[in-house]
Amino acid sequence: MKLNLEGEKKTHVEAKSESWFYSPEVKEHFFHPKNIFTSEEEIKKFKADGVGRVGSPACGDMMEMWIKVKDDKIVECKWMTFGCVSAIASTSMLSVMVTEDGGMKIENALKIKPNDIILKLGGLPKRKVHCSVLGDKALRAAINDYFKKSEQYDRIIVEDAKVIDKILKVTDKDIEKAVLDGALNFEEVQKKTKVGIHDKSCIPEVEELIKFYKKKYFGE
């Protein structure tokens, strides 16, 4: 995924007539976003402990976030997005909030609400408030990914998804993402998600979900 900042800035400039809607903080974080990746090379060099991706470029906004964790604190938070002014500014501010002063404890980062970000930005237009949710969701996804990679399964937070693997807390959304990422059979999905390694009883349901998502997205 590539961030086209110039394109985003052009969109912002073209909407100058509405620029009064945005606070100085929003403008600062949009035109000078903090902790943002601007190339694939930067991503490759960054050894993330957790990665989160939400949204879809086909539908509009998409956000991807990478975090590094030390002593249960988020010490680095990087991101890229296809998104609007508010999405970029909100995520930039969020990345600062969770890494300042040596890093925020994960338990406190999970308590951050979109409204906390909006307050830090000096407000957002009501029709753009939903954009502040994108970074928040990506952060939660990255933290959950960190929990999985570090085998802290009891700390995984499941939201708006059905848990399929009761032991590793793999959800239907995890399986859907694996299929979208190219895993088209059970072995490939298991390799990506570890589903069914300990909870064997979920395997038939996983296989049915794989068939469902393959038909839904690829017509197979």
Block residue for tokens 């979900």:
209
59 noted as active-site residue = yes
DSSP state of 130: G
131 noted as active-site residue = yes
Residue 40 three-state SS: helix
Contact 171, 206 (CB under 8 A): no
Strands (E), the chain: 50-55, 62-70, 73-82, 104-105, 163-165, 170-171
- Phi, psi angle pair for 42, to nearest 5°: -60, -40
What is each CA distance from 195 to 18, 41, 64, in whole angstroms? 48, 31, 23
Block residue for tokens 């002014």:
85
- Pick the catalytic residue from 77, 84, 131, 202: 131
- Pick the catalytic residue from 59, 77, 84, 202: 59
Give the integer Cα–Cα distance in Å for 86 and 95: 14
Residue 50 identity (one-letter amino acid):
G
Q: Give counts: helices (H), strands (E), the chain.
A: 10, 6
Ranges of H-type helices in 48-180: 85-99, 106-109, 114-120, 132-149, 172-180
Give the integer Cα–Cα distance in Å for 184 and 191: 11
Catalytic residues: 59, 131
